[in-house]
Amino acid sequence: MRAQALEQSANGGLAHLVQSAPHRLAESDELRQALAKSLEHAFTRTQFYGRLFRKHLRSKPIDGESVAEIFFDLPFTSKEDVVRTYPYGFLAVDRKHIAAYFESSGTTGNTVHSTKGASFFTQGDISKDVPRRFSPDLGISESDVVLNALPFALTSSGLGFQQATLAAGACGVTVDSGSILSSHLKHLDLMKELNVTIFVTSLPLLYSTLLLMEGRDPRTEFPSLRAIQLCGLATLRRGQAKIAASFGVPVFNTYGLSEFGATTFGCRDGHMHIHDDAFFVEIMDPRTGEASEDGKGGEIIVTTLTREASPKIRYRTGDFGYIEKGACSCGRSSPRLVVKGRIRDVALFAEGFRLPIDFEECIYDFPETTGLYRLRYEALENSASKEQRTKATVTLDVADPNAAGLHQRIEQRLKADVTSDVTAHLVRTGGAQAGILDQQRFASVRTVKSAILDDGRPQEWLVTY
314-352 pLDDT, tens digit per residue, is 999 999 999 999 999 999 999 999 999 999 999 999 999
Q: Residue 296's domain spans which residues?
A: 3-121+271-343
Residue 235 and residue 326 share a domain: no
Would you state the pLDDT for residue 27?
54
Domain edge (last residue) among 343, 378, 397: 343
Would you state the pLDDT for residue 195?
98
Q: Is the pLDDT of residue 461 over 50?
A: no
Residue 239 and residue 131 share a domain: yes
In angstroms, what CA-CA distances link 419 with 296, 341, 459?
Answer: 20, 18, 22
d(CA 28, CA 11): 27
Residues in the chain: 465
Residue 109 and residue 28 share a domain: yes
Residue 157: inside a domain:
yes
Residue 49 and residue 84 share a domain: yes
Residue 139 and residue 243 share a domain: yes
Residue 88: inside a domain:
yes
Residue 339: inside a domain:
yes
Q: Is the pLDDT of residue 17 over 70?
A: no
- Going by C-alpha positions, the residue among 91, 82, 69, 81 that lies closest to residue 23 is 69
Instruction: Provide the number of structural domains found in the chain.
Output: 3
Residue 277 and residue 194 share a domain: no
Contact present, 102 and 114 (Cβ < 8 Å)? no
d(CA 323, CA 406): 35
Residue 220 and residue 321 share a domain: no
Residue 260: inside a domain:
no
Which of 53-62, 78-87, 239-248, 402-411 bottoms out in mean pLDDT, i.e. has the lowest? Answer: 53-62
Residue 338 and residue 352 share a domain: no
Residue 220 and residue 246 share a domain: yes
Q: What is the mean pLDDT of residues 229-256?
A: 96
Would you state the pLDDT for residue 442?
54
Domain edge (last residue) among 208, 223, 254: 254
Residue 247 and residue 139 share a domain: yes
Q: Is the pLDDT of residue 444 over 90?
A: no
Residue 264: inside a domain:
no
Q: Express as a percent the part of the chain with pLDDT over 70.
A: 87
Q: Which residue has the higher pLDDT, 116 or 173?
A: 173
d(CA 45, CA 280): 20
Contact present, 138 and 228 (Cβ < 8 Å)? no
Contact present, 375 and 361 (Cβ < 8 Å)? no
Domain edge (last residue) among 343, 361, 389: 343
Residue 438 and residue 386 share a domain: yes
* CATH value at residue 363: 3.30.300.30
Residue 179 and residue 108 share a domain: no
In angstroms, what CA-CA distances link 218 with 165, 209, 259, 358, 381?
Answer: 24, 9, 34, 25, 43
* CATH value at residue 165: 3.40.50.12780
d(CA 163, CA 127): 9
Q: What is the mean pLDDT of residues 195-214?
A: 96
Q: What is the pLDDT of residues 100-134, one digit of tens each?
A: 999 986 534 444 456 889 999 999 999 999 999 99
Q: Nearest-5° angle of CA 305, CA 18, CA 3?
A: 85
Q: Is the pLDDT of residue 358 over 80?
A: yes
Q: What is the mean pLDDT of residues 294-319?
A: 94
Residue 446: inside a domain:
yes
Contacts of range 209-212, beta carbons closer than 8 Å, 24 or more positions apart? 209/370, 209/371, 209/372, 209/397, 209/429, 209/430, 209/433, 209/437, 210/184, 210/185, 210/430, 210/437, 210/439, 212/370, 212/399, 212/429, 212/430
Q: Is the pLDDT of residue 381 over 80?
A: no
Residue 266: inside a domain:
no
> What is the phi/psi pair of residue 30, to 5°?
-60, -40
Residue 30: inside a domain:
yes
Would you state the pLDDT for residue 456?
81
Q: What is the mean pLDDT of residues 155-168?
A: 96
Q: Which amino acid is at 240?
A: Q
pTM above 0.85, yes or no: yes
